[in-house]
């Protein structure tokens, strides 16, 4: 059996030009393969872009989490410092009251203020 070839010397399945049914248009099989491959490359590129976007968003999220943790820690330290300063303020006010003679130290101690 002899291989069948077209006018261009190519087997029919490798014919680079085919006529579409019912239309007068010609389409290149090579072009359709290129389009198919381009579509696949496009989907791979889109997939890679989505992966990169996901990774970028994930990195941003992790950095924000770290920043949030650091800010919570700093806030706790500031709140503790504020509480310590308020306690010191009340102690100084109690001492001032005693020094001005408005209340005796014994009265303040019995009330648990000093």
Within-domain flag for 1: no
Within-domain flag for 11: no
Within-domain flag for 9: no
- Alpha-carbon distance of 4 to 11, in angstroms, equals 6
Give the CB-side neighbour count of residue 27, counting CA atoms within 13 A. Answer: 10
Within-domain flag for 19: no
Do residues 94 and 100 make contact, with C-beta atoms less than 8 angstroms apart? no
Q: Which two tokens stand for residue 57?
A: 């968003």
- Alpha-carbon distance of 114 to 106, in angstroms, equals 9
In this predicted model, what pLDDT tens digit does every residue of 6-59 receive, in sequence order?
555 555 555 444 445 555 555 556 666 666 666 666 667 888 999 999 999 999
The total domain count for the chain is 1
Within-domain flag for 17: no
Within-domain flag for 97: yes
90 band by pLDDT with thresholds 50, 70 and 90: very high
In this predicted model, what pLDDT tens digit does every residue of 67-83 receive, in sequence order?
999 999 999 999 999 99
Say what the pTM is.
0.45
Q: Which two tokens stand for residue 107?
A: 């009265």
Q: Which two tokens stand for residue 73?
A: 């820690």
At 109, phi and psi to the nearest 5?
Answer: -65, -40
Mean pLDDT of 93-106: 78
Within-domain flag for 2: no
For residue 78, what are the domain limits? 27-111
Within-domain flag for 6: no
């Amino acid at each position: 059996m002899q291989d069948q070839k077209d006018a261009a010397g190519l087997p029919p399945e490798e014919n680079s030009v085919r006529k579409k049914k019912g239309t007068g248009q010609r389409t290149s099989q090579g072009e359709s393969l290129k389009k198919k491959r381009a579509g696949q490359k496009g989907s791979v590129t889109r997939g890679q872009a989505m992966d990169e976007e996901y990774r970028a968003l994930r990195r941003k999220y992790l950095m924000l989490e770290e920043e949030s943790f650091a800010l919570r820690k700093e806030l706790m330290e500031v709140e503790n410092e504020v509480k310590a300063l308020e306690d010191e303020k009340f102690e100084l006010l109690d001492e001032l009251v005693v020094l001005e003679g408005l209340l005796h130290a014994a009265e303040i101690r019995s009330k648990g203020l000093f």
